[in-house]
Amino acid sequence: MMSQSFTFIDPGGNQAQYTVWEKNRDDEFCWSTEYGDHGMAASYAQAQERARTTLKATMAARRRSGRSYGFR
């Protein structure tokens, strides 16, 4: 199965990757992030959007968590 990986860079310069795969046998597009988030969508564009949205939320949560321990 073919896949394409993308790098997302947030406004703070932090980078993370997500991957979207071509349709599977159930006619769904799978996606995942380097943080272990994953899911499926009906279209390639929808899979990209869900992966980016999830990745942004995960990155924001990790930044908040780091700040609470005094890290930046």
What Å distances lie between residue 29 and 17, 19, 37, 71, CA to CA?
Answer: 17, 10, 14, 36
Q: pTM of the prediction?
A: 0.81
The secondary element (H helix, E strand) that includes residue 19 is strand 15-23
Could you read off the pLDDT of 4-53 as tens digits, one per residue? 999 999 888 889 999 999 999 999 999 999 999 999 999 999 999 999 99
With H, G, I as helix, E, B as strand and everything else as coil, classify residue 17.
Answer: strand
